[in-house]
Structure 1
Amino acid sequence: MATNPLSILFVASEVDGLIKSGGLADVAKALPQALHSAGQDIRIAIPGYSGIEHLSDAPILLESQLESWPHTPYRVRQCAVGDVSVYAIENESYFARPAMYAENNQAYSDNGERFAFFSAAALDMLPKLGFQPNIVHANDWHTGLVPFLLKYRYQRNDFYRFMRSIISVHNAVFKGVFSYEDVRCLPEFHSHDIWPAAISHSHIAMLKAGVMCADKINAVSPSYAEELKTELGSHGMAWEFQTRANDLVGILNGCDYQAWNPETDTYLPVNYNAERESLSAGKRGCKQALQEQIGLPILDVPMLGMVCRLTQQKGIYYLLPILKDLLKHQVQLVIVGTGEPILAENLREMAGRYSDKLVFIEAYNNQLAHLVEAASDFFLMPSEFEPCGLNQIYSMAYGTLPIVRSVGGLKDSVIDYDDDAHSATGFAFSEPTSQALLLVIQRALLLYCQSPNEFVRIQQNAMAQDFCWTDAAQQYIALYHQALEG
């Protein structure tokens, strides 16, 4: 592989440290930082949402308009996340809103137009800023039109001709499906025969456009890359991923251990490490602090935590039918998340009936997420599918044993106790049923109660895992070079 540093534009719809709704933001912060540390010239492009704190104070680098019709005006502000420069692309009509994607669980009706514009502006600004990247790295459907535009709008433009594109698929269930009318802000879609994007005569999928046009495709775990080539795992895009199989690579996400480290985590009332006495005292102190904060009895019982979006993907539908049976045990369960109203209502009802054992907090709260990770003995991730997952990696760092369904990145990162007791880092099940989930939880509780020394050994195994972004960054650099050579 060539060793010359690359210049990279990393295009994402959210970046932790500026604005965040999920795991994509974590990756969009940590991976560019790791690439920067590896000597690459990487810069991030993000929509200039009004929700980004102090954005209006950031210096303006560019005031311009799209060179192509309809010549939409935009402004680029200079921000930073860590050591990485960020270009925030402002347009008040698109991004001066209370939220990024939706309000009251209702997506903005013009999301297709908003992110089509953002994709166009992310490329349009480059010659005006004097930045000519080797690689443009798009992420998920929001930026799926970036590889498309690079190929179809700019392939004969000398400035862009040698740029290559990558698209990372963080979750293929979200495809960015819109009608041609929704994306008329791009003249390329004024006709209805754009095959790389088309899913019907009337609609396109932005993710499909990215997958079919990017030079290389990256899935966020090796197992997810394989699942994407199946009808079930691809959510309707198996043909596209099979067609591009030679250019599809799975790279497991890393962990930002600066943000997720129980020894230094400022959100914790007691810091701790993997040494037995420190681990015991730290977990006990964090558990008591969480119990006091959320009104659970101060008891020394196994605690299960869950922090997630309330969606079918996250396996809530597997959990709800077994809550009564689970809560017959001497356990405490803490669930934090927002999402589908019916799931939230079901959890509120159960929490009201079992208030001494179950607390449901309908919110996203970063401090609470850290405390739940540290206080819990087990972390539930019974996902229907999981491209990578990050919470199982955070959990292991905190000595909190993940209980996961063996899919995607969960399969790649968690070693089940029954499969390999010596190397185990958690517990896993395969069958997508509530009963299978209950059985694996009971299996985990049995180890906790009957073999405390063995349980601590597995905690220490988990804490010894190193999912550092440094290794992942080197795999991405190799993929970038493959794209350039291809």
Structure 2
Amino acid sequence: MNIVFAISEVEELVKTGGLADVGKALPLALQKMGHDVTIVMPCYQELSATQKLQTVGTEQTLFAEGQVYHYTIRQLTWRGINVYLVDYPDYFDRDGLYSSAYNAFEDNGERFSFFSGAVLQVLQAVELHPDIIHCHDWHAAMLPFLLRHERSGYFSQTRTVFTIHNAAFQGVHRLDSIPFLRHHPAILSQVHGGYINMLQSGITFADKITTVSPNYALELLTDLGSHGLHERLVTRQQDLIGILNGCDYSQWNPATDTQLTVNYDTDTLHKKTDCKAHLQTSNGLTEDSKTPVIGMVCRLTEQKGFGYLVPILDALMQHNLQMVIVGTGDPKVCMDLGEYAQQHPRQFAFINGFSNSHAHQVEAGADFFLMPSQFEPCGLNQMYSLAYGTVPIVRGVGGLKDTVIDYQHQDRATGFVFDDPTPEALLNCIRRALLFYHEHPQQFKAMQLRGMHTRFTWKDAATHYGALYSALIAQESFNQDNVTSA
């Protein structure tokens, strides 16, 4: 199949979060299966500065409500995949993809609506006829709307798949701030109170809708889990499917990880204690192989469960444990964690920032990895933790529920899971994990090994996506044949 990814970031090219991980891994997995894959994304300042780009064809022009957009198509070949870049400096030649520091660009609605329209023009300019355009998150959510209203022409055989990576980010903007869309004759059907919800438009007009784990797909059908979009999603329930993201084990493998002081695998799990000692000493903690270490690497936001964790830190510090938390984000959370690090310097370490080295060292050196998320569409750190023999402690939401099996299922258990969104439930779960660690060391080791043998691969994810694409194309062909016969 001929598949186009319309996406706002791709790891190794430009990245702000987990969307880029999918933008890298899924196209590569589909390509390996024999599909023709193309990526279209904005030409950000960072890309222009770090990549050798070629110019494709002549200057392109889009018109909207008296405004003229002159832009250039850039191109690079990345890992054997053609990447086309929409180079419109007024929108994308900025220090940041979506924001400057923590302040979102006020014209994001206009920027990415224009990007969606430009994708369609780019594909025509390079004479590419895709079977599938796979659109990702709100940044490309207007593309199915635009394509639906142009289907009689160039894209009559093209179908759209829209993936929701995180329903909390919906791209809600005033229509009067988006000249690119204001002129469209059908846009008023998408406007409510003067605002347009781009994620909702993607849900409405895409041929199929996917999200990043089966359990998150179920949560999206609820008011709380969908952040208010459940009614629209329920109407499209038959077209919604959850496909679990994979893990890049070439980067996350304790046997080959160059960020570690000592490498280990399932046959040499005892060497993990050397990684633990390094994590303790490098962060000022007391070196003690028998003291359990709980690690956490994430953005410091309410979503990640700090509303559950911070209230119980006093109680946790009464136990024989150590904690290492790495991340940046909410200034209030940073301040709270910094105070605990000052008060308990030999027991609690907080690194205000992020580095790949810190992330890998925590995964390898900790005994437990904590993810008490309010919501977690898929999550990757629990997959990394399992691969490193670091037992996850998670809340049973989204992809965490799909990937971590609670210790009560003894023969299959890979971690500890709690459900209630309260500090007390988190505290009880951590205490269960600590008790298991101290009283059942052999069973704890068996749990570690079980996790290390668990695999969530992008090959599996790509197989599911390939089947979805094929079914969508075959269904459309069948419908057209029926129309022709009639």
**Bucket of the pairwise TM-score, normalised by the shorter protein:** over 0.9
Equivalent pair of 1:176/1:207 in contact (CA under 8 Å): yes
Which of these residues, 122, 127, 130, is aligned with residue 130 of structure 1?
127
Instruction: String of CA shifts for 1:420-443, please: whole Å, max 9, x gaps.
Output: 011101110001100110111111
Contact kept in structure 2, 1:192 and 1:202, CA below 8 Å: no
**Which residue is 2:151 aligned to?**
155
CA distance in 2, matches of 1:181, 1:45: 27
* Correspondence for 1:460: 449
Paired with 1:204 and 1:297, the residues of 2 have a C-alpha distance of: 54
- Quick one: which amino acid aligns to residue 167 of structure 1? F
Q: Measure the CA separation in 2 of the matches of 1:59 and 1:293.
A: 45
Kept in 2: contact 1:177–1:203 (CA 8 A): yes
1:216-365 → structure 2 map (5 Å cutoff)? 216-275=208-267, 278-281=268-271, 283-300=272-289, 301-365=291-355
- CA separation of 1:20 and 1:451: change in aligned 2, threshold 3 A: same
Letter in 1 for 2:246: G
Provide the C-alpha distance between the structure 2 equivalents of 1:75 and 1:291, rounded to a whole number of angstroms: 51
- The letter of the residue matching 2:195 is H
Cα pair 1:29 1:81 within 8 Å, conserved? no
The within-5 A match list for 1:58-77 is: 58-69=53-64, 70-77=67-74
Q: Which runs of 5+ in 2 are unaligned?
A: 477-486
Question: Which residue of structure 2 aligns with residue 374 of structure 1?
Answer: 364
Measured after TM superposition, the shift of residue 74 of structure 1 is 2.0
SS in 2 for 1:114: helix
Give me the whole-angstrom Cα distance separating, in 1, the residues matched to 2:428 and 2:325. Answer: 20
Among residues 86, 90, 95, which one is paired with 2:87 in the alignment? Answer: 90
Residue 13 of structure 1 pairs with residue 5 of structure 2: no
In the alignment, the residues of structure 1 paired with residue 108 and residue 276 of structure 2 have an alpha-carbon distance, to the nearest angstrom, of: 41
Question: What residue number does 2:384 align with?
Answer: 394
8 A contact 1:78–1:87 mirrored in 2: yes
Alignment RMSD (CA, Å) = 1.6
SS in structure 1 opposite 2:45?
coil
Q: Which residue of 2 aligns with 1:471?
A: 460
Mark the CA change 1:398 to 1:94 in structure 2 (over 3 Å): closer, same or farther.
same
Contact 1:50 1:97 in 2 (8 A): yes
Match of 1:112 among 84, 109, 119: 109
- Return the match for 1:168 from 147, 163, 166: 163
Aligned equivalents of 1:43, 1:362: Cα separation in 2: 37
Separation of aligned partners in 1, 2:69 and 2:163: 27
Instruction: Give per-residue Cα distances to partners, 1:228-263, cap 9 Å, x unaligned.
Output: 111111110011100100100111111111111111
Q: Secondary structure at the match of 1:66?
A: strand
- TM-score norm. by structure 1 comes to 0.94
Query: What SS does the corresponding residue of 1:51 show, helix, strand or coil?
Result: helix
**Paired AA for residue 149 in structure 1:** L
Alignment of 1:190-229 (within 5 A): 194-195=188-189, 197-198=190-191, 200-229=192-221
- Structure 1 position 361, deviation (Å): 1.6
Whole-angstrom distance in 1 between the partners of 2:48 and 2:453: 36
- The aligned counterpart of 2:178 is 183
Q: Is the 8 A contact 1:17 1:81 kept in 2?
A: no
Letter in 2 for 1:342: K
Q: Which runs of 4+ in 1 moved over 6 A?
A: none
Paired residues of 1:262 and 1:273 also in contact (CA < 8 A): yes
Q: Residues 292, 79 of structure 1: CA spacing in aligned structure 2 closer, same or farther, 3 A cutoff?
A: farther
Q: CA deviation at 1:63?
A: 4.5
Given residue 25 of structure 1, which amino acid in structure 2 is its aligned partner? A
Q: Is the 8 A contact 1:393 1:467 kept in 2?
A: yes
Report how many residues are paired: 472
Letter in 2 for 1:279: L
CA drift of 1:203 comes to: 0.1
Is residue 340–residue 348 contact of structure 2 (8 Å, CA) maintained in 1? yes
Amino-acid identity (%): 46
Find out whether 1:445 has 2:441 as its counterpart.
no
Q: CA deviation at 1:81?
A: 4.1
Distance in 2, Cα, partners of 1:375 & 1:53: 38
Cα deviation 1:270-327 (Å, max 9, x = unaligned):
111111xx1121x222222223333323222211111111111111110000011112
Does the aligned pair in 1 maintain the 2:62–2:70 contact within 8 Å?
A: no
